[in-house]
A = this chain, B = another copy of it.
């Protein structure tokens, strides 16, 4: 049993086996409850039952661990978006249904999933955006969900589909991601950290609908 341990989860082998993954998982758990600031090196190693310095064999510093946790959180966000995507009522997507309506429903599902994730996992949501990125860093497969696409690509894909169906004019397509993302991301932040905290859930539903409507109206010309 090694030395009489000060902390609980002592392992019996000297080697851990998969320490890097274990540290990221511990970090995700910390982030889930306390946001990005709770991703603390020593706390993560304590959970895993390892000395603080062991982390330095897998991460250059605390920042590197935070980046890894941030990427994992973006993966969770992508999964939430995919889940809403998959849960679309099948009648909307039936073969004889209006294809443009189906594509619009998919765009909307992406927004709904985004907002649901922000509401149900605020700590992870904040963590997903805690590390400054740029465009190239937003399409890395490291941030992907189950379908292999990071959040940004899921949105781009839905917009591409609308374009190919003629619902989104090609001259409006460039940069359309940012219009949609701005509105939905801004609302998410307002809901979890801003003046909309503590608003009742029915009112939240109203506001979410209005924001999504506004995005659609602003993006897609009236049919």
Interface residues of A, Cβ cutoff 8 Å to B: 37, 129, 132-135, 137-138, 152, 175, 178-179, 181-190, 192-199, 203, 206-207, 210-211, 213-215, 217-219
Contact (Cβ within 8 A) A211 B134:
no
Contact (Cβ within 8 A) B195 A137:
yes
Contact (Cβ within 8 A) A179 B137:
no
The residues of B that contact A207 with a CB separation of less than 8 Å are 175, 178-179
The residues of B that contact A195 with a CB separation of less than 8 Å are 133-135, 137-138, 152
The residues of B that contact A194 with a CB separation of less than 8 Å are 129, 132-133, 138, 181, 185
The residues of B that contact A186 with a CB separation of less than 8 Å are 181-189
Contact (Cβ within 8 A) A133 B197:
yes
Copies in the complex: 2
Contact (Cβ within 8 A) B196 A135:
yes
Contact (Cβ within 8 A) A178 B211:
yes
CA–CA, A137 and B195, complex, Å? 7
The residues of B that contact A203 with a CB separation of less than 8 Å are 175
23 pairs, A vs B, C-beta closer than 8 Å: A37-B37, A129-B189, A129-B194, A132-B192, A133-B193, A133-B195, A133-B197, A134-B198, A135-B196, A135-B197, A137-B195, A138-B194, A175-B207, A178-B196, A179-B214, A181-B190, A182-B184, A182-B190, A183-B186, A183-B211, A185-B190, A186-B188, A186-B189
Shortest distance between the CB of A174 and any CB in chain B (Å): 9
Q: Which residue of B lies closest to A213 (CB)?
A: B218
Query: Which residue in B138, B185, B197, B214 is a CB contact (below 8 Å) of A134?
Result: B197
